[in-house]
């Protein structure tokens, strides 16, 4: 089925697929061993306590996605997507080389910050250039994003497996360094492949293509960037000085990050609506992007619990011994990537098949389905938690089913969301709005991390109620979207 789909897609898609695969290898590989390394006291780890470690882990995952906003802005205004991807990849590689040096805490954090900066520069721009390969939009662009999504998840499965193995079994720094080799491969292919197969795409930042619109907009856009940063600094300083949050602790820093993420998104959308020089038609589309942003943030705050509460559940309450062999609990995290590799081509073909019959569900309906499936997955967890509170280990079938529901939900929402952000965003804002899409993931990751703080070993009785809350929220929002899908679709103004 993949072969059949691939024949119909431009080669450029596979160049991007390959580069993104190694970027995700870096991200998910890092994610797989970061927390373990931070709290490891005996094998050359950093020896932090669990709560500090978890806060740093949460801050890392949230800031990687938050940095996609300035990364997208840089591409729209200064670099163009191709250069942003190129420099982003180089910065990621340098970050991993620094991390490969066993040089103590400061060097480690410099390396970690470097990787996060590079990822922020690469990630949104590689997604927005995928969209540009398909100027006609439509279901084919959705299908392309499903294929691209397989690259993402191939990188994730390889990263979790290889970096996890090297880091845990051989040496932490060898694990961190592996991604430098991968990123180098991605860069080489991108360098040559993009010259040949991505000609004329992403060379010039959209804001430099002079039209009456962009000239009017460029001044306001720059002011927006500076104004936003200044406002945020004042706002955070006020919160710190009035003692509302204390950003000298890890917990406080995580709260500070939450404030930054929520206010950046709110200010950004407000500014673009009020001062972005948009036509009424474009304004309506940006309103749709806001609805999708909220739905995505909610989705990721449940989904990204794969690395937090679901990981804890796998570790403490799941039967993982098969004929004397104990499966490492982190392997459950690979179920998602594996299911994606199996089901992405199926779903991509399904959308194409349905649209050939005129039955392709509209994007808001797909988002609603994604949220409802997420809720169903958490309902399964609620059932599992009811078994776990009796003190019994639960069958691995529960987590497997949950991951299955979550993955199908993700395939309804995430590649479709990437695709529709590229379609609905005004062209001159496309990469930064792509950044905003990932800011929803940033918020989701942070909430998923903080929520897992409730999964205390002394508080096991609460688990079914906690999972129940997530079920209700996501199914509730999903149903709301199902009820209102028609007006949302109308705002999209003929784009599907
Ligand atoms: N798993 C996807 C990726 O890594 C989606 C992540 C996200 O947007 N939260 O790109």
Virtual torsion, Cα 68, 69, 73, 75, nearest 10 deg = 10
Which residue owns the Cα nearest ligand 1 atom 7? 441
Which residue owns the Cα nearest ligand 1 atom 2? 152
Helix (H) or strand (E) holding 47: none
The answer to whether 424 and 352 are in contact (CB under 8 A) is no
Q: pTM of the full predicted structure? A: 0.86
Distance 47 CA to ligand 1 centre (A): 29
Which of 152, 297, 303 to mutate to test ligand 1, by most ligand atoms within 8 A of the CB atom?
152
The answer to whether 125 and 202 are in contact (CB under 8 A) is yes
Which of 24, 433, 441 to mutate to test ligand 1, by most ligand atoms within 8 A of the CB atom?
441
211 burial type by CB count under 10 A (0-12 exposed, 13-18 middle, 19+ buried): exposed
Residue 1 to residue 353: CA distance in whole angstroms: 13
From the CA of 28, give the closest atom in ligand 1: 4
Residue 384 to residue 401: CA distance in whole angstroms: 11
Distance 438 CA to ligand 1 centre (A): 8
State both tokens at 113: 């910050």
Residue 106 to residue 303: CA distance in whole angstroms: 32
pLDDT by position in tens, the chain (length 496):
444 344 578 899 999 999 999 999 999 999 888 888 888 888 888 888 777 777 788 888 888 999 998 999 899 889 999 999 999 999 999 999 999 999 888 999 999 999 999 999 999 999 989 988 988 877 788 788 888 999 999 999 999 889 988 988 888 999 999 999 999 999 999 999 998 888 888 787 877 665 555 555 556 666 766 777 788 888 888 888 888 878 787 778 888 888 889 988 998 898 888 888 888 999 999 999 999 999 999 999 999 988 778 888 888 899 999 998 888 777 788 999 999 999 998 988 888 888 888 888 889 999 999 999 999 999 999 999 999 999 899 999 999 999 999 999 999 999 889 888 988 999 888 888 988 999 999 999 888 877 777 777 777 888 899 999 999 999 999 999 999 877 878 888 777 6
- Spell out which residues line ligand 1, taking CB within 6 angstroms: 24, 152, 300, 414, 438, 441
> CB 494: neighbour CB atoms within 10 A?
7
Contacts of 475 (CB under 8 A, 6+ apart): 371, 372, 375, 376
Domains defined along the chain, listed by start: 1-207 (1.20.1250.20), 276-496 (1.20.1250.20)
The answer to whether 359 and 365 are in contact (CB under 8 A) is no
Calculate the alpha carbon distances from 242 to 238, 246, 247, 256, 484 in Å.
6, 9, 12, 14, 41
Distance 123 CA to ligand 1 centre (A): 10
């Amino acid at each position: 089925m993949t072969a059949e789909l691939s024949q119909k897609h431009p080669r450029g898609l596979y160049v991007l697929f390959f580069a993104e695969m190694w970027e995700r290898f870096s991200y998910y590989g890092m994610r797989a061993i970061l927390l373990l390394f931070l709290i490891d006291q005996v094998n050359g780890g950093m020896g932090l306590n669990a709560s500090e470690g978890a806060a740093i882990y949460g801050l890392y995952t949230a800031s990687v996605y938050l940095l996609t906003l300035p990364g997208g802005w840089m591409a729209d205004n200064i670099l163009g997507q191709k250069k942003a991807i190129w420099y982003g990849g180089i910065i990621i590689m340098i970050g991993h080389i620094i991390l490969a040096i066993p040089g103590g805490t400061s060097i480690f954090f410099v390396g970690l910050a470097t990787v996060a900066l590079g990822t922020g520069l690469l990630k949104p721009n590689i997604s927005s250039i995928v969209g540009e390969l398909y100027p006609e939009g439509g279901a084919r662009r959705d299908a392309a994003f499903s294929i691209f999504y397989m690259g993402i998840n191939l990188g994730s499965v390889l990263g979790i497996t290889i970096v996890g193995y090297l880091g845990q079994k051989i040496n932490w720094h060898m694990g961190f360094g592996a991604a430098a080799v991968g990123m180098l491969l991605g860069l080489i292919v991108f360098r040559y492949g993009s010259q040949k197969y991505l000609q004329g795409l992403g060379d010039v930042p959209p804001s430099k293509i002079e039209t009456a619109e962009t000239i009017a907009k460029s001044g306001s856009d720059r002011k927006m960037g500076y104004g936003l940063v200044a406002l945020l600094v004042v706002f955070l300083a006020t919160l710190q000085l009035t003692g509302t949050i204390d950003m000298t602790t890890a917990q406080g820093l995580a709260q500070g990050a939450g404030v930054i993420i929520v206010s950046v998104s709110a200010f950004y959308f407000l500014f673009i609506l009020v001062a972005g020089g948009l036509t009424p038609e474009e304004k309506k589309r940006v309103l749709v992007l806001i609805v999708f942003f909220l739905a995505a943030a909610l989705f990721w705050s449940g989904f990204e619990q794969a690395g937090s509460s679901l990981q804890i559940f796998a570790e403490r309450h799941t039967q993982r011994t098969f004929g004397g062999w104990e499966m490492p609990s982190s392997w459950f995290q690979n179920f998602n990537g594996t299911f994606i590799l199996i089901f992405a081509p199926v779903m991509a073909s399904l959308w194409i098949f349905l649209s050939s019959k005129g039955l392709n569900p509209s994007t808001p309906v797909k988002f609603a389905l994604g949220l409802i499936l997420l809720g169903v997955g958490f309902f399964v967890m609620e059932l599992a938690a009811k078994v776990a509170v009796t003190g019994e280990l639960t069958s691995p079938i529960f987590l497997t089913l949950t991951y299955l529901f979550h993955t199908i939900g993700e395939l309804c929402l995430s590649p479709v969301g990437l695709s529709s952000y590229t379609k609905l965003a005004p062209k001159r804002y496309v990469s930064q709005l792509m950044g905003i899409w990932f800011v929803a993931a940033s918020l989701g990751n942070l909430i998923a991390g903080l929520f897992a703080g409730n999964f205390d070993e002394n508080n096991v009785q609460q688990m079914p109620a906690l999972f129940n809350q997530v079920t209700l929220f996501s199914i509730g929002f999903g149903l709301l979207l199902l009820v209102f899908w028609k007006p949302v679709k109308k705002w999209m103004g003929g784009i599907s």
